[in-house]
A and B are shown apart, each in its own frame.
Chain A
């Protein structure tokens, strides 16, 4: 119910963006310049990789976030862009830096736009019984057996589990593509996207589920091959990777909590939406 209410208030950005949403074919890739006390980071978003997500990010970054006609004080909300006032609240040194999802998180979701072909997921196949057992024991069965909130059940996965339990032989999976494995645990792929790999410098959306992504931005400071085909790469750092490294290297609040919360989160002092990374001066300031 809460989500439904927010959907009514938000400017149509709350529901997952439909795959067929028309895009401006000739539009250049938008950029976001994030100024912090540690320095500036410029993110270049890739429309070809995730058109729906990038369009949503662009609109939300520009603001307003809300349906002004429904708000009691629309002028106060008019100047708010999605990234204004956020801070990097998740910092894994040498690995990853994240901007949070603005509440209500459930409202700001987009479709997880992933295309298996550019990622080589059709060609990547299980070669032998050992790899088959690895896939089953390390990823597939755990997904099926996880507690309810994390369970990833599909008819194909159920069928594979039954086949395995008949004789505890996983070799029937030999030849199965990586795409098929990911689809068995709930991921969906569509054609026509220039999906990218999660390498150092890439900008990703934090997943909400296998089929939905949040608008939490993840900046990778190292290659994360384990996320290939699972996390949507929406762009890259065009400038300021060393600034991101420095922000992530700041002390954590408490290592034992394992929430990777910085002791003093670095905030976004100024956010500029740019038509392209080469047009810094023409950008809109948020």
Chain B
């Protein structure tokens, strides 16, 4: 049930106290009032996407991964089988007692670009997350519910309580999805044929449920699937609804580089499709009706052959959903964004409206932004060893609030790598603001962004990333903007200092990842990040951090779970990131 009502909202706020008052600030945004006449390009290359029957699994029935698997090759998990897989022993009642992020409240003034300074609290949690899972690169992401942090890496997930307690040890995605979905695919998979990769996870505050996805490649039968799971409640330790879908038209391709979004109208996947015989074909957007949150597959639609609305209509690459962090667009639109590949000065903004399961409308507009260029390789202290690949300049995630889409980009500089965050006005199709962060000879990489805080009009902005230099091993960092986007004011925390060089090659590349994770905690209006560091030679490890917003968390947001579970190792942090 989506709960938009003011009455309900304030009733809930009264019931749950200050922690949920923060969420009462959220708004349904007014419909756009100054939107220019539609000039974008309408995309019609698409069709229904096949879907599966829902299969329900209980996490307690899923064993964790093999702790003896060989690190550096595949699988395995550093955290091991730290505890038996018994259910969580919460100390404070049942799930329904917990404060949960609520749906949006009715309209508030939409004073866009006000940029009023907001207070920023402290970094309040910082603990070690998933260690080397045996996969490279890790591609860590996380999502935060009322009581849990779910971290997903290649290729498994770990569930923590918010104070770092280990709820569910590393559980590989193949073991989670495989037994339920492999046998019911159009051509049944086996573990030898299929592998599961590029996971993503978000917490849908519209439904108070987690959504996790992964891509699956059947290299024997040349089939490609999108697997996804939706937690039955806000408790990820309970039941999950599992589904699969795929591009039934472009069967000469497989899907790579996932993106995941959700809002009140549906669930969204993005990806790049490559020919099985090699070479890029096109990018896709796939939308699924929101019935999947209730355990029912009821239709989906896929767009392919997506192209820029510019001269000659070149192909786009790596589209990302821009999920709402606070309000809900008044026009019920869903937004996506992509940048040019490696170098450019354009972003492409996509607007989806209509029934997400049957011929939705998809319109794109290009937006000129500050130029960006692929940063190449990041320095490490040991000059005798190779540097870390920083992937490319493009947007690795995006978020939406108040008629704006935000994303972060890497940008090349001489002897360094910058990052900049940009804010696009989706009504005027212009870059409203951007601000670049550059320091001397420091390399920042894989910046990912979220908005947080109680105020959707003047949200705080958090960017999670890694960084290194000639004197600093690969480390995690979290930047928060106090006064977005006028300047770079606001703290910049080093959340996990690296201790050694990283030179792990696969197919000739020393890859650090494709993206990192950052998420808005809708229950507490804080931001959480998962970043990477190199704690030992050729070892990656993730670090999970939480930063307060403008309203200090209180009540159950400060809950320390006295459940007897092992706590994650708390890390010291610093404010010395250059």
* Proximity string of chain A (124-155) to chain B, C-beta cutoff 8 Å, 1 when within and 0 when not: 00001111111001100110010111100000
Listed stretches B7-15, B343-351, B443-451; interface member: B343-351
Contacts of A222 in B (CB 8 A): 276-277
Interface flag for A70 (CB, 8 Å) = no
Interface flag for A5 (CB, 8 Å) = no
Interface flag for A1 (CB, 8 Å) = no
In angstroms, Cα B195 to Cα A260, docked, is 12
Contact status of A258 and B195, CB under 8 A, knowing A145-B343, A224-B277:
yes
Interface flag for B21 (CB, 8 Å) = no
Interface flag for A94 (CB, 8 Å) = yes
Contacts of B343 in A (CB 8 A): 141, 145, 161, 164-165, 168
Contacts of B37 in A (CB 8 A): none
Listed stretches B228-236, B326-334, B372-380; interface member: B372-380
Interface flag for A186 (CB, 8 Å) = no
Nearest residue in A to B343 (C-beta to C-beta)?
Answer: A141
Listed stretches A33-41, A46-54, A245-253; interface member: A245-253
**Which residues of chain B have a CB within 8 Å of any CB of chain A?**
73-75, 135, 155, 174, 190-197, 217, 219-222, 275-280, 307-308, 310-315, 317, 340-346, 371, 373-374, 376-377, 386-387, 389, 392, 508-510
Nearest residue in B to A252 (C-beta to C-beta)?
Answer: B192
Contacts of B275 in A (CB 8 A): 226
Question: Are the C-beta atoms of A254 and B277 separated by less than 8 Å?
Answer: no
Nearest residue in B to A130 (C-beta to C-beta)?
Answer: B312
In angstroms, Cα B340 to Cα A164, docked, is 12
Nearest residue in B to A253 (C-beta to C-beta)?
Answer: B192
Question: Are the C-beta atoms of A138 and B510 separated by less than 8 Å?
Answer: no
Contact status of A93 and B373, CB under 8 A, knowing A226-B279, A257-B73:
no
Interface flag for A27 (CB, 8 Å) = no
Contact status of A255 and B222, CB under 8 A, knowing A128-B312, A130-B312, A145-B342:
no
Question: Are the C-beta atoms of A168 and B315 separated by less than 8 Å?
Answer: no
Contacts of A134 in B (CB 8 A): 314-315
Contacts of A138 in B (CB 8 A): 280, 315, 317, 341
Which 9 pairs between the two chains have the least Cβ-Cβ distance?
Answer: A130-B312, A133-B314, A129-B312, A226-B279, A256-B195, A129-B311, A226-B278, A137-B341, A145-B374
CB of A60, distance to nearest CB on chain B (Å): 26
In angstroms, Cα B74 to Cα A253, docked, is 13
Given A141-B374, A161-B343, 16 extra CB contacts under 8 A = A130-B307, A130-B312, A137-B340, A137-B341, A137-B342, A138-B317, A142-B342, A145-B343, A149-B509, A165-B371, A222-B276, A252-B220, A255-B193, A255-B217, A255-B220, A256-B174
Question: Are the C-beta atoms of B278 and A93 separated by less than 8 Å?
Answer: no
Question: Are the C-beta atoms of A137 and B317 separated by less than 8 Å?
Answer: yes
In angstroms, Cα B220 to Cα A75, docked, is 43
Question: Are the C-beta atoms of B192 and A224 separated by less than 8 Å?
Answer: no
Contact status of A131 and B277, CB under 8 A, knowing A256-B74, A257-B73:
no
Interface flag for A22 (CB, 8 Å) = no
Question: Are the C-beta atoms of A263 and B192 separated by less than 8 Å?
Answer: yes
Question: Are the C-beta atoms of A249 and B376 separated by less than 8 Å?
Answer: no
* Proximity string of chain A (243-279) to chain B, C-beta cutoff 8 Å, 1 when within and 0 when not: 0000001011111111010010000000000000000
Contact status of A145 and B376, CB under 8 A, knowing A131-B312, A138-B341:
yes
In angstroms, Cα B277 to Cα A161, docked, is 28
Question: Are the C-beta atoms of B377 and A148 separated by less than 8 Å?
Answer: yes
In-complex Cβ contact of A256 among B155, B221, B307 (8 A): B155
In angstroms, Cα B122 to Cα A109, docked, is 60
CB of B253, distance to nearest CB on chain A (Å): 12
Contact status of A150 and B509, CB under 8 A, knowing A133-B308, A255-B195, A258-B195:
yes
CB of A165, distance to nearest CB on chain B (Å): 6
Contacts of B392 in A (CB 8 A): 142, 145
In angstroms, Cα B424 to Cα A94, docked, is 45
Count of CB-CB pairs between chains A and B under 8 Å:
129
In angstroms, Cα B377 to Cα A161, docked, is 18
Question: Are the C-beta atoms of A251 and B377 separated by less than 8 Å?
Answer: no
Interface of B is mostly: loop
* Proximity string of chain A (157-168) to chain B, C-beta cutoff 8 Å, 1 when within and 0 when not: 000010011001
Question: Are the C-beta atoms of A168 and B74 separated by less than 8 Å?
Answer: no
* Proximity string of chain A (166-190) to chain B, C-beta cutoff 8 Å, 1 when within and 0 when not: 0010110000000000000000000
Interface flag for A103 (CB, 8 Å) = no
Question: Are the C-beta atoms of B219 and A93 separated by less than 8 Å?
Answer: yes
Interface flag for A225 (CB, 8 Å) = yes
Question: Are the C-beta atoms of A94 and B222 separated by less than 8 Å?
Answer: yes
Interface flag for A78 (CB, 8 Å) = no
Contacts of B310 in A (CB 8 A): 129, 133
In angstroms, Cα B341 to Cα A263, docked, is 37
In-complex Cβ contact of A257 among B74, B194, B313 (8 A): B74
Question: Are the C-beta atoms of B508 and A149 separated by less than 8 Å?
Answer: yes
CB of B6, distance to nearest CB on chain A (Å): 47
Question: Are the C-beta atoms of A147 and B376 separated by less than 8 Å?
Answer: yes
In-complex Cβ contact of A133 among B196, B278, B312, B377 (8 A): B312
Contact status of A168 and B342, CB under 8 A, knowing A130-B311, A256-B195:
no
Interface flag for A227 (CB, 8 Å) = yes
Question: Are the C-beta atoms of A252 and B219 separated by less than 8 Å?
Answer: yes
Contacts of A224 in B (CB 8 A): 277-278
Interface flag for A29 (CB, 8 Å) = no
Interface flag for A193 (CB, 8 Å) = no
Nearest residue in B to A263 (C-beta to C-beta)?
Answer: B192
In angstroms, Cα B307 to Cα A93, docked, is 31
In-complex Cβ contact of B277 among A164, A223, A252, A260 (8 A): A223
Nearest residue in A to B412 (C-beta to C-beta)?
Answer: A145
Question: Are the C-beta atoms of B346 and A168 separated by less than 8 Å?
Answer: yes
Question: Are the C-beta atoms of A227 and B278 separated by less than 8 Å?
Answer: yes
Question: Are the C-beta atoms of A249 and B195 separated by less than 8 Å?
Answer: no
In angstroms, Cα B191 to Cα A263, docked, is 12
**Pairs A–B under 8 Å by Cβ, sample size 21:** A93-B221, A128-B312, A130-B308, A130-B312, A131-B314, A141-B374, A145-B342, A147-B387, A147-B509, A150-B508, A168-B345, A170-B314, A171-B311, A226-B278, A252-B193, A255-B191, A255-B217, A256-B75, A256-B196, A258-B219, A260-B219
Question: Are the C-beta atoms of B344 and A168 separated by less than 8 Å?
Answer: yes
Contact status of A165 and B192, CB under 8 A, knowing A145-B343, A227-B278, A249-B220:
no
Question: Are the C-beta atoms of B314 and A92 separated by less than 8 Å?
Answer: no
Interface flag for A95 (CB, 8 Å) = yes
A133, A138, A255 interface centre (most CB from chain B within 10 Å): A255
Contacts of A95 in B (CB 8 A): 222, 276-277
Contacts of B197 in A (CB 8 A): 256
Question: Are the C-beta atoms of B510 and A147 separated by less than 8 Å?
Answer: yes
B343, B508, B509 interface centre (most CB from chain A within 10 Å): B343
Q: Which of A95-126 contact B (CB under 8 A)?
A: 95
Contacts of A165 in B (CB 8 A): 343, 371, 373
Contacts of A253 in B (CB 8 A): 192
In angstroms, Cα B375 to Cα A145, docked, is 8
CB of A137, distance to nearest CB on chain B (Å): 4
Question: Are the C-beta atoms of A254 and B220 separated by less than 8 Å?
Answer: no
In-complex Cβ contact of A168 among B371, B509, B510 (8 A): B371
In angstroms, Cα B191 to Cα A43, docked, is 33
